[in-house]
Amino acid sequence: MVIRREFPELPLVGVGAIIIEGDRVLLVKRAHPPIQGQWSIPGGVLEVGEMVREAAVREACEETGLMVEPGELLGVYDRILRDPEQRVQYHYVLIDFLCRPVGGELLAASDAAEVRWFRREELPALQLAEDTLEVIAKGFERLAR
């Protein structure tokens, strides 16, 4: 069975790695649709037979070159993008984990055009999705405890 990302028949499960180090969070600039050219959390689609935390580790490494250790579940979010005729063009259920970098070398790879650390005060200028800002803020809060 071929799974279509664009105009899917069913929602796709995606995972995200909220990678925080000190007062910075790691983001990737997307090289492909649906949010090509925009900054977002490293992550991607869950593969058949893969556990969600394993997927977060795999996707983080594929996109950033870093090995991460997934920790706390920070949230589950809906991402539904519609075309000009209001048809569902993309539909993801996103599962985001707080992750700690444990190795590797920072390098934009896979579908990431660029990878970069951002300080909290730089985030508003990036025009991230509201739920993306929310889950990053949760990550900083959890680490501050």
Give the pLDDT score at 123. Answer: 96
Which CATH architecture best describes the domain 12-144? Alpha-Beta Complex (3.90)
Q: Where are the domains of the chain?
A: 12-144
Greatest alpha-carbon pair distance for the chain in Å reads: 45
Q: How confident is the model at residue 84 (pLDDT cuts 50, 70, 90)?
A: very high
40-78 confidence digits (pLDDT tens)? 999 999 999 999 999 999 999 999 999 999 999 999 999
Q: Is the pLDDT of residue 21 over 90?
A: yes
Q: What is the token pair recorded at 116?
A: 């970069």
E strand or H helix that includes residue 106: none
Give the pLDDT score at 33. Answer: 80
Check if the beta carbon of residue 68 is closer than 8 Å to that of residue 17: yes
Peptide bond into 101 cis (omega under 30): no
Q: What is the token pair recorded at 6?
A: 């664009």
Average confidence (pLDDT) over 23-32: 94
Q: What is the rounded distance in angstroms from the CA atom of residue 71 to the CA atom of residue 133? A: 19
Q: What is the rounded distance in angstroms from the CA atom of residue 137 to the CA atom of residue 72? A: 14
CA distances to 30, 32, 103 from 135, rounded to whole Å, are: 18, 22, 23
Average confidence (pLDDT) over 117-121: 96
Higher pLDDT, 113 or 56: 56
Q: What is the token pair recorded at 142?
A: 């959890």
What number of CA atoms fall less than 13 Å from residue 43's CA on the CB side? 27
Higher pLDDT, 32 or 45: 45
Give the pLDDT score at 34. Answer: 82
